[in-house]
Amino acid sequence: MVFAFAAAVAGALIWIPHLIAPRRLTAVKAQPFECGKDPIEVAEGRFAIKFSTIAIFFILIDIELIFIWPWAVLYRRLGWFGFAEMLVFLGILMFGFLYIWRKGGLEWE
């Protein structure tokens, strides 16, 4: 039942845009825009690594939340072993945060 519902939602997400998408494209509608501003540099230019490190930062936060939420619900049943395992897990993720910090991804100019 759940699989059928998921398949129906996925099918709808693929099918509905074809129903409501504009059919007559003009030259102006087909042009790519970046936030309504003209691009400053050529697209083949250098790409700042800061965007990648910020993406890695958000992925690390998501991974933490996915694993910390069930742990927080069951922390009393897990006892000291669960506490030690969570400390090991958070220690491993801190390496990712340290990498982002050393690359300058947390500096906002």
Split into its structural domains, the chain has a count of: 1
Domain housing 83: 2-103
Sign of the dihedral defined by the CA atoms of residues 60, 53, 35, 13, in that order: negative
Q: Between 75-103 and 50-73, two packed helices, what is the crossing angle to 10 degrees?
A: 170
Residue 23 lies in a domain: yes
Q: For the domain that residue 48 is a member of, what is the CATH number?
A: 1.20.58
Q: Round the average pLDDT of the chain to a whole number and report it.
A: 78
pLDDT at residue 7 in the model: 92
Query: In angstroms, rounded to a whole number, what is the distance separating the alpha carbons of residues 101 and 50?
Result: 11
Residue % of the chain over a pLDDT of 70: 77
Q: Which residue has the higher pLDDT, 43 or 26?
A: 26
Residue 108 lies in a domain: no
Residue 109 lies in a domain: no
Query: In angstroms, rounded to a whole number, what is the distance separating the alpha carbons of residues 41 and 38?
Result: 9
